[in-house]
Amino acid sequence: MKVPMIELQERVKKFQNSMQKKGIEGALLAQRADTLYYTGTAQNVHIYIPKEGTPVVLAYRDFVRAQQESPWDIIPLKGISEIPNYIQEAGLPLPGMMGLELDVLPVNQYERYRKTFPDTSLVDVSTEVRLQRAVKSEWELVRLEKSAQIHALVLEFAKEVLHQGMTEVELEGLVEGKARALGHGGYIRMRGFDSEFHFCVITSGARAAVASCFDGPVTGQGISIAHPHGATMAQIKPGEAIVVDMVTVVDGYQIDQTRILSLGPLSEELTKAYEVARQVEEQIRAALSPGRVAGEIYEEILMWVRENTPYEENFMGYGRSQVRFVGHGVGLELDELPTISKGSKEVLKPGMVIAIEPKFVFPGVGVVGIEDTVVIESERGARYLSTSPRELTVL
């Protein structure tokens, strides 16, 4: 579905207001999620957004598809060195100060821009872009709600096909096929440098508690040392906690959710820990209200776990592998702002969408926890976008 022109115009206008407050005369954006956000196409494009007026959208590949998909006028991009000419031909002055996405821009690409704009001061606008994208519009929330609907159907399918003797990889493959058949987009976009994430982490038993390079509380052992994350070829056994951590995508918008399944009952310890995870999730959800500082919520949750549970050392990882967050923004990317993390200064606003994921890791035993995507709305806290039942599923 195309992004409506009025939606794109509103996004550009908000960004222009942000630039004007900082004295930035224009911004040249090239990162895929950002250009998709402001142009409505995921083709290989640059967008130059002046501090006022209409943006200049330049398409390298594929120009024809970019024309078809974006409501802006599209100009064929012949080369980076020509960008100043395109800006001037659009009746715009060359900027004295221009913003770039310095959080993700490769050094070589930055040097090309610097040579192309020798008289322009280049500054970072990645924070302004990311903070704007953190607050979702009603149009974006509809996409996220549709993604949540797919997620719920896929989870029910996983319950139907799961059986004793099945390998983690086999279950993951069936689940992915079902998700794609229901309209899951496939791409899981991440902003972080060198970040890799498959759409689904299915891991069970002690393998789920194996830490890895990915900055998350639960990663799984993975199928090889080259892919040290997610499912393995091991069979799923009765009594193991099966972590089903899935991301589903509609029109680029991602829902992140985790549920725990098991073939037969779990141990008393894991069952109790799962119920504690549900309590912690509700604590986080209720705390996510406009005006709150994200880092303060993180500290409150750590304190609650410390004072009310016996699982402090197992919370969000174990030992040196514990992570320092309990929630992260989601949308066009899986690692958006805000993060409910140690030291975060971000002030929460209505419309921010966050995946909250309290999880407990028991080395040599397994993992239990829960994850849901929510949207901040009022002083009563956030609203669940995820629709799947939150009870432990014992099959």
129 and 139 in a common domain: no
Q: Do 101 and 178 reside in the same domain of the chain?
A: no
Residue 214, pLDDT score = 87
Q: With cut-offs at 50, 70 and 90, classify the pLDDT of residue 187.
A: confident
Percentage of residues of the chain with pLDDT beyond 70: 100
Residue 298 and residue 340 in contact, taking contact as beta carbons nearer than 8 Å: yes
User: Is the pLDDT higher at 13 or at 229?
Assistant: 13
Statement to judge: residues 284 and 152 lie in one domain:
yes
Q: Is the pLDDT of residue 206 over 90?
A: yes
Statement to judge: residues 185 and 249 lie in one domain:
yes
Strand locations in the chain, DSSP E? 26-29, 44-50, 56-61, 74-76, 97-100, 121-124, 200-204, 242-250, 253-262, 325-329, 336-341, 353-356, 359-362, 366-369, 372-378, 381-384, 393-394
Are 129 and 139 in a shared domain?
Answer: no
pLDDT beyond 90 at 199: no
φ, ψ at 255 (rounded to 5°): -110, 135
Provide the token pair at 353. Answer: 């969408």
The pLDDT assigned to 226 comes to: 94
| pLDDT > 90 in the chain, percent | 96
The total of other beta-carbon atoms located within 10 Å of residue 368's CB is 32
- Extract the tokens encoding 243: 């972590």
pLDDT at 198 over 90: no
Domain boundary among 133, 168, 196: 133
Q: What is the CATH number of the domain that holds 348?
A: 3.90.230.10
* Same domain, yes or no: 113 and 226: no
Parallel/antiparallel/unpaired status of strands 242-250 and 200-204: antiparallel
Answer yes or no: is pLDDT of 319 > 90.
yes
Number of independent structural domains in the chain: 2
Of 98, 133, 168, the domain-final residue: 133
Q: Residue 157: CB partners within 8 Å, gap ≥ 6?
A: 174, 175, 178
The pLDDT of residue 45 is above 90: yes
Q: Amino acid letter at 31?
A: Q
One domain for residues 73 and 178: no
Same domain, 17 and 112: yes
Question: Are residue 123 and residue 157 in the same domain, yes or no?
Answer: no
Structure tokens, 300: 């409150």
What's the pLDDT tens digit per position in 345-376? 999 999 999 999 999 999 999 999 999 999 99
In this prediction, residue 196 carries a pLDDT of 85
What tokens were used for 373?
A: 């995507």
List, in sequence order, the alpha helices (H) in 22-106: 32-39, 63-69, 83-89
Are 201 and 57 part of one and the same domain? no
Give CA–CA dist 351/380, Å, rounded. 14
What's the pLDDT score for residue 286? 98
Cα–Cα distance measured from residue 316 to residue 140, given in angstroms and rounded to the nearest whole number: 29
Supply the range of the domain harboring residue 68: 5-133
Average pLDDT over the chain, rounded to whole?
Answer: 97
End of a domain among 106, 133, 160? 133
Based on the domain organization, do 125 and 143 belong to the same domain? no
3-state SS assignment for residue 233 = coil
Q: Please tell me the pTM assigned to this model.
A: 0.96
Tell me: pLDDT of 1 over 90. no
pLDDT tens readout for residues 257-300: 999 999 999 999 999 999 999 999 999 999 999 999 999 999 99
Rounded Cα gap, residues 311 and 316, in angstroms: 10
Same domain, 108 and 195: no
Q: What CATH number is associated with residue 72?
A: 3.40.350.10
